[in-house]
Amino acid sequence: LARDLGLFGRPLLPSACTMVKSMMALLWPTSGRSHCGGGSRGPGCRSSLTILAAVTITTSLPLVFGEQPFAKVPWAFATVRPVPRSHRRGGSDRGGAVVVSAANVIDGGGYEDNGGGGVYRPFASYAWTKLAESGLFLPEFGPGESDGGGVGTVPDDLRSNTSAARGRVDGSRVNVEVRSMRGIDGGPIRLARYALLETMDPADGREGETVCAANAIHVLNLVAFPNPEWRGCGGEPLPVLGMDLVSLPGDKHLVAIDFQPLTPLPETEERRVLPERYIDFESLLEGLHRRHCIESDKLPWGGDIPPQAQRYFSPRAVWTRLLGPEALGTVQGAVWSAYQDYLDLYLELMLQAKRDTEGGPDDSHDAEEEEEAMKGALEGQRSYLEYRRANDPARPMLKSLYGEEWTERLIEEVLFQHI
């Protein structure tokens, strides 16, 4: 309800909190039991009623006190909490929408899974947990630890950085976190990594604590690169998993989620993205795109893609621009769902690819043709990396926040390193 009505980010004045309590006394007597939707929900219904009361008050205050009654009140941000498994639609063992509680709308707070973070912290946490537990990667070394044998892929001085957030309250920071894992030897994935930018404001009345800054810079760039030397489909390349989630001041959000091709797609009607061996996964990918982008109007097409970038987008891409105060709710609902679906399918594809070669390389293809195809896959990945290095749209923002030297090293050595 809070998401649909655009309540994110609005704190209540102390007097308004008193009004909420008074309304709650009427809406929810201390004795007895309320039944919502045919069943007793207890605290869940109480939270819904509290949010409803808060919506009533916060949306009415402009009519009484003018258009900007909160102009001098620091904005808080509603905590994003993954839906408990028992409450997810269809009994799925993973996410539906992300939800908020009335208490968190009022007093801000941090994410349930990590004690505090920005808009895309739960997205990054979900993906990294799934990747690390998949068995497709070597162990990741934590911040400050030595790589021991060169397995770590992020130099210590590039793992994090921070800068003052311009135009916000004193103490606001834009933090960046970079993590990376290498794939197991002979596996279908070469590398996975992410860069996460979060704007954090100082928590009102809680010294040393921070809360997610609403209507500010929040970015997640997560990429999984296939192993170009993987021999499972006669040299046919597996796609890159590319996920770019960007939120900017002015209620602007850009989303690109895709199985990105490394070589030009065949000029056929279906324009197949995956190797022919995985035609069943192709059907599943097409189904995800249809459900999230065609049958639903929540993630409309984001407009023309520059010609030089078109070869790196597939027909199954989620590409959208979201604007306005309600857009954040779409990010935390429809985008969250699509993000999980695409990530999970990519991991399922790669796990199947790993199983297909556990007994050794596939020798059913002509060796010479396979070698040529693998060279094409390698060149395709090099071309992709070169394009991203030269055209990274985040470069100007990173330079302004962290300086040119650090930014160029991050792009060259970590995000789109040479292979």
Whether the per-residue pLDDT at 113 is higher than 70: the answer is no
Q: So what's the pLDDT on residue 45? A: 42
Q: What is the pLDDT of residues 375-413, one digit of tens each?
A: 877 888 898 899 889 988 899 999 999 999 999 999 999
Q: What is the pLDDT of residues 259-300, one digit of tens each?
A: 999 887 766 656 789 988 899 999 999 999 999 999 999 999
Closest CA to 332 of 222, 243, 255: 255
pTM: 0.71
In this structure, the strands spanning 240-248 and 189-202 are unpaired
Closest CA to 243 of 190, 186, 320, 349: 320
Q: So what's the pLDDT on residue 381? A: 87
Q: What is the pLDDT of residues 26-36, one digit of tens each?
A: 334 433 333 33
Q: How confident is the model at residue 418 (pLDDT cuts 50, 70, 90)?
A: confident
Please give the Cα distance from 417 to 411 (Å, whole number). Answer: 7
Q: Find residue 109's DSSP bridge partners.
A: none
Please give the Cα distance from 237 to 379 (Å, whole number). Answer: 11
Q: So what's the pLDDT on residue 363? A: 58
Q: So what's the pLDDT on residue 150? A: 40
Please give the Cα distance from 32 to 408 (Å, whole number). Answer: 63
Q: What is the pLDDT of residues 324-338, one digit of tens each?
A: 999 999 999 999 999
